[in-house]
Amino acid sequence: MAVDNQARSTLINGGGPSFQKERIKLRLMSKSRLAIRLTMLALAILTVVGFLTFDYRDVHLLKGIMSTFANFKTIFAQPQLAHFSLSEAIYQLLVTLSLGVLTTLIGAIIALFLGIFAAENLSNKKVSNVIKGFVALIRAVPTVLWVLIFAVSAGLGSVAAVIGMSFHSISYLTKAYSESFEELDAGTIEALEGCGASWWQIVCQAVLPSSLTSLISWTFIRFEINFGVSVAMGAAAGAGGIGYDMFMDSAFYYNLHEMGVITYLILVVAMLLEFMSLKIKNKVRS
Amino acid sequence: MKINFLMKKRLYFLAIFLVLVVISIGSMSMTQFSIAKCFASIPKAIQWGFGNFYPAGDSFARLPEILLKLQETLLISIAAASVAAIFALFFALMGSRITKVNNFLATLSRFIANVFRNIDVSIWALVLLFSFGQSSLTGYFALFVASFGFLTRAFMETIDEVGSDTAEALRATGANYFSIVFQAIIPMSVSQLISWVLFMIETNIRAATLVGILTGSGIGFLFDLYYKKMDYHASSLVVLSLVVSILLIEQISNYVRRAML
């Protein structure tokens, strides 16, 4: 017997309008979901626009990718030195590491002072905002431009490289340090103030010792970044070290085999540094 | 006893301090870095900067050219980060502790991400220069690969942090792998993942300048060109436009982050 729709709905809910006409909404469209959708849409549109407007210069995409894979095969499977010996390469690697060390140390010393004044619980809000804004402005200029700007008056070389690279280290570490100072329990500072401790005593006896471990861990993370940066500065801004050799191999000698050796050396050091910073991070957290 | 403890502490700090001093002296001699020259050059650089490094006069005529290159660089950075995010999400799901398919694939994807991350973007740029020449694609692929390595690690950590309890609970109800991933893990972590992508775009714009100088494309190349012609007014205009666009994008992404929460 065929029961028509009207009759069925009368049967089920006593003559009221039939319910469940459409799918139940599982998730409501809240503001945050809308923001996520819009962001993803914007990124997708910009990506497509980017691909349409790129300056391709008649490069064949597929051919290029295939030849890149072939180049990688050469780099990773047949590394061979040509213009310098292994000991020279390791010496240059040490030069690059030294650049990283110097930059990190200078950055850490300056950032320690800036970080104390940028922490809202240790200084007033005005000073903190000024320092934070200043630091954000420094970070907006890419490192390589800082190095090149300083190179005009200091000459291309390690001095310009270290000064220019220190800018970003200072900026990064100031932010990290001030955030770890702000984590300190407000009660500790209040208790010490109540005892009549001076500001310097609070900083040296309470703030620094309790955040020392996280300071060390942040500094080492920055050192890891600075190693990569100093490789890049060697290549792009005449800072010397292994990056410069790599740039010469790529731009002048067209020697992929030697680039392979350099890539392996850099990869080993970078992985070692990452492993060490992971160990330090775990030790600090526990 | 107490004096002994304080004494020990002081000696300990003294030892660390001495080690740091030795390391820095060693580094200075390795890189031929002199503190005197460093201190001498900072005031000189500031003086020179105020004297020469500002946009003036005819440099504004180059603004359309600069803005065109800036737009190209911004689009490359965004495209590299977005496409890399798709690949990174896949690798992160493979490699994450809670969503891995099996141990072999997890180790493999972690290894690949590790290698890609630890090779600096400058190396990628120099290698890709061989096959793509001075086109935008060199910069695009260099940034893509670097973004991929970084985002995979960041996504993996986010997924590990966000989803472990939920995934366990869902697994206990008998949900299959795909419903755990698509109904729980991704919806829960999506705002943090997008936040990482936005961060990556900011990083990419800075890196794009470096890649541009190395490979001769985009805004980095334009800066290099003016810089080598000693046209400092025009190169300062390039720096200024970069700073403005980076600060602007930082503001936009902070706004989006707040809206997504």
- Residue B85's Cβ-count burial label (10 Å; 0-12, 13-18, 19+) is buried
pLDDT confidence tier of residue A113, bands split at 50, 70 and 90: very high
Q: A111 in contact with B at a CB cutoff of 8 Å?
A: no
How many residues comprise chain A? 286
pLDDT reading at A52 higher than 70: yes
Map out the domains of chain B as residue ranges. 2-52, 58-260
Q: Report how far residue B52's alpha carbon sits from residue B55's, in angstroms, rounded to the nearest whole number.
A: 9
Q: What is the CATH number of domain B58-260?
A: 1.10.3720.10
pLDDT reading at A217 higher than 60: yes
Q: Which long-range contacts (CB under 8 A, 24 or more apart) does B89-94 make?
A: B89/B155, B89/B186, B89/B193, B91/B148, B91/B152, B92/B151, B92/B152, B92/B155, B92/B156, B92/B158, B92/B159, B93/B159, B93/B181, B93/B185
How far A161 CA sits from the closest chain B CA (Å)? 10
pLDDT reading at A282 higher than 90: no
> What count of other Cβ atoms lies within 10 Å of the Cβ of residue A247?
20
Q: Collect the ranges in chain B with pLDDT lower than 50.
A: none
Q: Report how far residue B76's alpha carbon sits from residue A228's, in angstroms, rounded to the nearest whole number.
A: 22
Q: Do B120 and A231 touch (CB under 8 A)?
A: yes
Q: Do A145 and B242 touch (CB under 8 A)?
A: yes
Q: Report how far residue B225's alpha carbon sits from residue B134's, in angstroms, rounded to the nearest whole number.
A: 14
pLDDT reading at A14 higher than 80: no
Q: A143 in contact with B at a CB cutoff of 8 Å?
A: yes
pLDDT reading at A284 higher than 70: no
Q: Pull the structure tokens for residue A41.
A: 């849409």
> What count of other Cβ atoms lies within 10 Å of the Cβ of residue A206?
17
Whole-structure pTM over 0.90, yes or no? Answer: no
ipTM over 0.95: no
> Looking at residue A7, what is its pLDDT?
53
Judging contacts by C-beta atoms under 8 Å, the chain B residues touching residue A54 are 72, 75-76, 135-137, 140
What DSSP character marks residue B57?
G
Q: Pull the structure tokens for residue A196.
A: 């009549």
pLDDT reading at A89 higher than 60: yes
The fold for domain A82-285 equals MetI-like fold (1.10.3720)
pLDDT reading at A268 higher than 50: yes
Q: Tell me the residue type at B229.
A: K
Q: Do A43 and B131 touch (CB under 8 A)?
A: no
Q: Do A57 and B259 touch (CB under 8 A)?
A: no
> Looking at residue A18, what is its pLDDT?
57
| Nearest in space to B121 (alpha carbons), one of A246, A217, A6 | A246
> Looking at residue A12, what is its pLDDT?
56
> Looking at residue A37, what is its pLDDT?
87
3-state helix, strand, coil in chain A (%, to 5): 80, 0, 20
> What count of other Cβ atoms lies within 10 Å of the Cβ of residue B91?
24
> Looking at residue B39, what is its pLDDT?
82
Q: Report how far residue B145's alpha carbon sits from residue B110's, in angstroms, rounded to the nearest whole number.
A: 15
> Looking at residue B214, what is its pLDDT?
86
Q: Report how far residue B12's alpha carbon sits from residue B29's, in angstroms, rounded to the nearest whole number.
A: 26
Q: Which long-range contacts (CB under 8 A, 24 or more apart) does B5-11 make?
A: none
Map out the domains of chain A as residue ranges. 82-285
Q: Report how far residue B120's alpha carbon sits from residue B227's, in angstroms, rounded to the nearest whole number.
A: 25
Q: Report how far residue A175's alpha carbon sits from residue A115's, in angstroms, rounded to the nearest whole number.
A: 7
**Residues 5 through 64 of chain A touching chain B, CB cutoff 8 Å:** 31-32, 35-36, 39-40, 43-44, 46-47, 49-51, 53-57, 59, 61, 63-64
What DSSP character marks residue B61?
G
How far B35 CA sits from the closest chain A CA (Å)? 8
pLDDT confidence tier of residue A269, bands split at 50, 70 and 90: very high
